[in-house]
Amino acid sequence: MAATAQDSQAPLRGPEKKDEDREDETEFSPFYGIDKGAVLQEARVFNDPQIDPRRCQQVITKLLYLLNQGEVFTKKEAAEVFFGVTKLFQKQDINLRRMMYLCIKDICPGADEVIIVTSSLMKDMNSKVDLFRSNSVRVLCKIIDGQLLAQIERYLKQAIVDKSPVVASAALVSASHLLGNNAEIVKRWINEVQEAAQNKNNMVQFHAVALLHALRASDRLAISKLVTSLTKASVKSPLAQCLLVRYVAQVIQDSQPGANGEQRPFYDFLESCLRHKAEVVIFEAARAICNLRDVTARELTPAITVLQLFLSSSKPVLRFAAVRTLNKVAMTHPLAVTHCNIDMETLISDQNRSIATLAITTLLKTGNESSVEKLLKQIGSFMSDIADDFKIVVVEAIRSLCLKFPTKQRALMNFLSGVLREEGGFEYKKAIVQSILVLIQEIPDAKETGLGHLCEFIEDCEFTYLSTQVLHLLGQEGPKTKEPSKYIRYIYNRIILENATVRAAAVSALANFGAACEPLRPRIIVLLRRALADNDDEVRDRATLHLQQLEGKAGGPDAVQPRLDVNITAMEKALSDYLAGPTDKPFDISVVPKAPPPVRASGSSALGLATSTATNSSGGAAPTSAARKDPTAEYAELLRSIPQLAPLGEVFKSCEPVALTEKDTEYSVFCVKHVYEGHVVFQFNCTNTIAEQVLEDVSVAMDLAEASDFEEAFTVPLDQMPLNGVGQCFTVVTRQPGAIATGKIVNILKFKVKEIDPSTGEAEEEGYEDEYVLEDLEVSPADYVKPTLLGNFRKAWEELDPATEKEDEYGLGTREGLQEAVEAVIGILGMQPCEGSEAVPPNARSHTVLLAGIFVGYQQVLVRMSFGIDATNNVAMKLVVRAESIELSEAIHSIIQDA
């Protein structure tokens, strides 16, 4: 008899009963109104001379139910139950024995009681019944301590290689649980576990592979060796193969991609798994390839092909898994997924709404401009039938599509405003509002339309957070429109009708209109005077302050929106440090790094807004024209926290890590280049893999003979290189501010070695100086360019001075196709493709790519590249550059010439 899933406090009714029959015929759960005292009285049945197995099972079931409901047994009560259950070992009933095992595990007897039951469990371990043997292993490993474990170690090792799959699996799973507290003992079973990994039974092999990995979890090198051996062995279990695929993917993630297009380690294994006979292994391998860091289109192709076959499967779970994975791939590689569009179009009418939603959002990310209206019409037909979580996914996809095709903003904005008026939760409405905000910032033509939709939304908005956010945007963008007066009515209505928080935001928004629009100022002053009688302190205070400012006092209208030219995060840290230290000196704001100047863009007040806010529901960047990753933000806080580097100011760009050592060497070193206005900081991430040594005072010496434009300034050494962890040391070089200094740098890792005394485990006091030659490091012109997204490339191009334009033609040699040439040049320049121009249509013989970037010194540069390919696959390119100076345009051409 097993515990049911019914609510113990509610009657158990048959599902086939009609409403009128339920009053007459009602069945109650066996646990309804159960009482601990009564159950403990029933437990005395365990002491009967003639044991009734069925009745004992019922009593144990009730005891287990009470334990799982959180009922607390006193030590005396638990001991009585435990001793009663141990008396049932004399009965050989299989079902009763299983319930006994469960009861002993859940009661968790103390050390004194364990000794009593150990002999009975040991007897079961040597039983001829496999069920008794496997369960007794599980129970013993659950209740015994390290001392008793050492005594039965021999039996457990035998169980791991037992011929019975049930026993072997039980022993392997138990060993996995024992690893937490008895790792040293379990590690002695490594030979038996490796033998079990060759077992023909699927489940045994699965558990053995999992345990082998767990035994090496803290040693990255050992895991790499394990994965190497397992990929060469015959792992026939589909479940074990799935585990192995995950371990391989983790090893690949921990290693750097091969240089110059060299294939990653173990990629061949993942590709071979795509041809496995088990669907679960095929999908696991395809997903692993799609999730690889910096995966290329060539690596993705076999995985996409397999997932495309799954899209037409008769099994809903395979269709769902495939379309969800393709949806994620489309965020970063939309072009790779376009081949699956025809198959995904058939899934729009799938009975499973989840599959249909993922299919439509994937099509939104990969579709072309002409299919937008058709897709929107199909989405509208089922938006009301899906949950908010999936609606958010749709909204995110529409936002990305609008940024990709700005000319379709009217249709997409109308769709967003339509769904904004429908019923929905906070997160759903927040996603829509955030999308409209991004589109207003990035697409100038969408500003008036978007502000109008948001004004209508706040007229009937139940969420305070969203109302204040919209009011803030109206205060920022409304005064810049052609007719700012039309928004005042919507804002003032909030002062009359809303709660205090929204009223305060509305007062500030009105003040912004008064400060920016002098003709409207007298009317704004009249409206603000009415807010002086508000019953909330904050509203009254804001109205009083802004009235004084608009009337020319308290700093005047310019003080309504004060602007700081310092970095806010750095200022907060500087103030915290000032307050923490005992000093009588006044705070000096000159020590705070300046904020970078705003970058001119096509009607955008925050050029990077799309990349910072346009994120998908799982946390990745939205596919705004395949937005390039910018790791600068990840490192900025680290660099500011180092006192020697803080005076350098704000970092302009941080590059991707570059490996300076080969894989599996005794030291692992990666370099990250950080570009500043007049400096370049080289961050070296160092890892020691030799447990017998301690490395102290670690630094990297740089030979600048082939990079004469640089001059070494100082180094920040690492006190001690961590074992199997990551520590940082820094080398700082100077260059002329704004100059594009390049060259090859020779690097030498220097450190003091102290040997570990095997007897004490401590490092020796005296060490010796040593050094290790690293790979050369290249500083290229692309390191000085930061990709940035533009909503309207043509307008930004026209705003730049035509006198800075420089044009030239280049031959790129023989290529497989235009797409390969486009990707190669984009990679060399390190700039951001705009308006989806990085995707070359199939079979195209010519193509134009638009790129945007910011050069060091925050100078904007735009590039227009026209490609053509002849019958012999020779590619020619016409490169036209406009920038804020002719020198910068020439620098871009020099990057291509030197490539």
Are residues 570 and 559 part of one domain? no
pLDDT level of residue 567 (50, 70, 90 thresholds) = low
Asked whether residue 789 is assigned to any structural domain, the reply reads: yes
Query: CA angle, 430 as apex, 426 and 435 as ends, to 5°?
Result: 155
pLDDT band at 708 (very low <50, low <70, confident <90, very high): confident
Asked if residue 378 is part of any domain, the answer here is no
DSSP result, 409-475: HHHHHHHHHHHHTS---HHHHHHHHHHHHHHHHH-GGGHHHHHHHHHHHHTT---HHHHHHHHHHHH
Same domain for 654 and 770, yes or no, is: yes
- What burial letters (b/e) apply to 736-763, b meaning 16+ CB within 10 Å? eeeebbbeebbbebbbeebebeeeeeeb
CATH number of the domain where residue 887 is located: 3.30.310.10
Choose the final residue of a domain: 563, 587, 614: 563
Q: What are the C-alpha distances in Å from 897 to residues 217, 744, 810?
A: 48, 17, 8
Q: Is residue 746 part of a domain?
A: yes
pLDDT in tens, 329-357: 887 888 888 888 888 888 887 888 788 88
Task: Please compute the mean of the pLDDT values over residues 696-715 and round it to a whole number.
Answer: 88
Mean pLDDT of 639-647: 83
Range with the largest mean pLDDT of 373-382, 412-421, 555-564, 844-853: 844-853
473: domain range?
A: 463-563
pLDDT at 261: 52
Question: With helix as H, strand as E and coil as C, how does 484-523 read?
Answer: HHHHHHHHHHHHHHCCHHHHHHHHHHHHHHHHHCHHHHHH
Using the predicted structure, report yes or no on whether residue 619 has a pLDDT greater than 60: no
Query: Mean pLDDT throughout 621-639?
Result: 57
Residue 152 is predicted with a pLDDT of: 80
pLDDT, one tens digit per residue, over 832-879 is: 888 778 878 777 788 888 898 888 877 888 999 999 888 888 888 999
Q: Residues 749, 737: contact at Cβ < 8 Å?
A: no
Residue ending a domain, choose from 747, 779, 811: 779
pLDDT interval class at 319 (50, 70, 90) = very high
Do 494 and 576 fall within a single domain?
no
Which two structure tokens, joined as six digits, stand for 510?
């009105």
Closest C-alpha to 306, from 281, 331, 334: 281
pLDDT at 630: 54
Show the tokens assigned to 105.
């595990």
> Average pLDDT, whole number, for the chain?
80
The distance of Cα 157 from the centroid of its chain, to the nearest Å, equals 41
Same domain, 756 and 663: yes
Q: Tokens 């070494």 label which residue?
A: 712
The residues with which 131 forms a beta bridge, in sequence order, are none
| Whole-angstrom distance, CA of residue 833 vs CA of residue 852 | 7
Residues 511 and 568 occupy one common structural domain: no
- Domain check: are 756 and 800 in the same one? no
How many beta carbons lie within 10 A of that of residue 19, not counting itself?
6
Write a three-state SS string for 410-423: HHHHHHHHHHHCCC
| CB count in 10 Å sphere of residue 689 | 16
Q: Rounded to an integer, what distance in angstroms lies between the CA atom of residue 89 and that of residue 167?
A: 20
Contact 192, 212 (CB under 8 A): no
| Dist. CA 309–CA 344, nearest whole Å | 11
Q: Do 652 and 774 have their domain in common?
A: yes
682: pLDDT strictly greater than 90: yes
Question: What are 574's two structure tokens?
Answer: 């500087």
**What was the pLDDT predicted at 880?**
92
pLDDT of residue 373: 75
Number of folded domains that form the chain: 4
Name the phi and psi angles at 745, rounded to 5. Answer: -120, 130
In contact, 168 and 161? CB cutoff 8 Å: yes
Q: What is the pLDDT of residues 59-86, one digit of tens each?
A: 888 888 888 888 888 888 888 888 888 8
How far is the C-alpha of 707 from the C-alpha of 781, rounded, in Å?
A: 13
C-alpha pair distances (Å), 455 with each of 15, 435, 463, 493: 50, 15, 14, 11
Q: Are residues 740 and 665 in the same domain?
A: yes
Q: Which of 162, 179, 168, 153 is closest to 208 using CA atoms?
A: 168
Place of tokens 């109650």: 28
Average pLDDT over residues 19-42: 67
User: 645-664 pLDDT, tens per residue?
Assistant: 888 888 888 888 888 888 77
Can you tell me the mean pLDDT for 720-741? 82
When pLDDT is averaged across residues 481-500 and rounded to a whole number, the result is 86
Kindly tell me if the per-residue pLDDT of 633 is higher than 90: no
Same domain, residue pair 716 and 823: no
Quick one: pLDDT at residue 284? 92
Tell which of 731, 759, 779 closes a domain. Answer: 779
CA 795 to chain centre: 34
Q: What is the reported pLDDT for 322?
A: 92
The reported pTM is 0.55
Provide the 10 A C-beta neighbour count for residue 346.
11
The more confident residue out of 313 and 6 is 313
Looking at the structure, tell me whether residues 758 and 828 fall in a common domain.
no
Q: Has residue 502 been placed in a domain?
A: yes
Does residue 767 share a domain with residue 864? no
- Domain assignment of residue 416, yes or no: no
List the CATH number of the domain containing 742: 2.60.40.1480
| Position 341 in a domain | no
Q: Are the beta carbons of 339 and 308 closer than 8 angstroms?
A: yes
What end-to-end distance do the CA atoms of the chain give, in Å?
Answer: 75
Element (H, E) at 826: helix 818-829
Confidence at residue 452, expressed as pLDDT on a 0 to 100 scale: 86
The reply to whether 844 falls in a domain is yes
Per-residue pLDDT, 282: 92
Separation between Cα atoms, residue 352 and residue 187, nearest integer Å: 47
HSE toward the beta carbon, residue 769, CA cutoff 13 A: 3
The answer to whether 61 and 69 are in contact (CB under 8 A) is: no
For residue 26, what are the CA distances in angstroms to 5, 29, 379?
17, 10, 46
> 403 or 819: which carries more pLDDT confidence?
819
Assign 642 a pLDDT band (cuts: 50, 70, 90): confident
Burial of residue 330, with CB atoms counted within 10 A of its CB: 0-12 exposed, 13-18 middle, 19 or more buried:
buried
Region 754-758: what's the mean pLDDT? 80
Same domain, 592 and 670: no
Per DSSP, 262 falls in state P
Is 127 within the bounds of a domain?
no
